[in-house]
Structure 1
């Protein structure tokens, strides 16, 4: 049963990555599009706090979009001079609050989380995505993939086979 879910998750990740059109000039090999389940995050941490915007919906939320190398390593903190600038994503904020909330304590408006994601991972994707593009791409991937629905469908199909 676990291997079926593992294969499904791998296929979903590959599907997500296929939506990204990446030029040959990037300094990495591919992206991981990482989502998290709020309940699992809260169960594995010492404490969990909801953002100022309220309790997230019972759905996967974005954790990040991470450039990676084929050998399993990844670039990080590639441009310390390119700090997070909230003004560059002002049109995305409400969508990000819904789909990319921080659950870290103390509760926040998620700006610190998004700052971390941009500065650690996003600055390494600049050869293909500027700051707005980085966050917009992750939001678009979330909109094109419904991980919760896929898992429910897989569970339903599995139960019908037994």
Structure 2
């Protein structure tokens, strides 16, 4: 059985990283976009990260342009936007696809482990969130409308 830590991905700066670098941490994995109605959630995601990172928590952001082309920029533009507009310091990865034949293997795993409504595996929109425990198991899937600040209790219970 795969764990989140068994995958690797490319960071915004172009470097490849194994998610085993986050082994033992509680993770909130989110597909993001810079021009979405949910983009202000970056603020809440960053607040969660800053409040709990010292206890072994991390947010992992995966930009995606599959929903309304709301992430059209390059990796450099995404990094600059996230820094300038939301002071994002949590790890941000290179743009990926989360649905379809070219879906990143991590997202295939996440959606298999925690399907959405009616058992559908596809991601419905930007800012779908997956909470992962310290063992690398996917615990919960949250809809894009779920605000990051509403996840504090569940995150703290896993820390």
TM-score over 0.5 for the pair:
no
Q: Which has the higher strand share?
A: 2
Q: Which has the higher helix share?
A: 1
Q: Which one has the largest radius of gyration?
A: 1
What's the TM-score once normalised by structure 2's chain length?
0.26
What's the TM-score once normalised by structure 1's chain length?
0.26
